[in-house]
Amino acid sequence: MSPYRIFRMLLLRWHRRIGVVAALFVVVLVVTGIAINHSDDWGLDKKPLKQAWLLKHYGIPSPVLRSFPLNESLNSGAWLSQLGDGLYLAETQIGSCGSPLLGVVVLPETIAVLCAGRLQLFTPAGEKLDDISESLGLPRGAEALALDGEAVLLRTPAGVIAFDPRSFMFSAMSVEGVTWAAPALAPPTIQRSLLDQYRGSGLSWERLLLDLHSGRLFGSVGVYIMDLAAIALLLIALSGVWVWLSKPGRWKRPS
């Protein structure tokens, strides 16, 4: 057998093998390409990712949810929670807190929320009434809240401080046996709703499809793999044309 025929047979054999390997990448490219072209029509650009393992892959870990129970009589919800920097009354964000949530107490017409270095006051409907920082008079190092009648008690390194929400005055107080507000687990429905809101922010299905289409979903290695897949498709096209053109008798004129 001539070297030409041997080379042609080897090329044909590798043409088939490369084609089988590249077929999977062709399917991925076609499916993701079509989905990306219609992402606006299908709402993929606005549909958030909620799968925990995918979000973890993107470096978005599950945040810590910290919740405090409120009076059951509140119409807008019986829990106040912190997730990330957001403060939530039930499942609705009502404000933000860039430091840990330390305590929550409920007065007849006010919800007092203590974050590290900030005391915020809200209505039962979640409207902010005031925001008192340490520079505006909040005792330094306040770390917990409790109620004493209509006065809000703050536990500080210097002792217990009473806050009157009507006069906005702080005063030292000597009390014993105070029950400080403590966090608790919110109902599963609230937990799921808040976690879905947090996880889905800023990352859409369109982004996932773009990263899968380009290989970036798997880091720099994935990009190189997609580059190799593109080269493999080019080799299949070139080798297929060459095999077809070089078929014995292809260019013989009929006698």
Instruction: Provide the pLDDT for residue 2.
Output: 60
pLDDT at position 74: 47
Whole-model pTM above 0.85?
no
Classified by CATH at the fold level, domain 65-200 comes out as Methylamine Dehydrogenase; Chain H (2.130.10)
- Amino acid 121: pLDDT: 95
Q: What 3-state DSSP class applies to 204?
A: strand
Spatial distance between the Cα atoms of 120 and 103, rounded to a whole number of angstroms: 11
Helices 205-214 & 3-37, crossing angle to 10 degrees? 170
pLDDT along the chain (255 residues), means of 10: 61 67 77 85 77 72 84 63 91 91 92 95 93 92 91 93 91 87 91 77 76 82 81 76 65 57
Buried b (16+ CB within 10 A) or exposed e, 193-210: bbbebbbeeebbbbbbbb
Domains in the chain: boundaries: 3-47+204-245, 65-200
- Chain center to CA of 122: 27
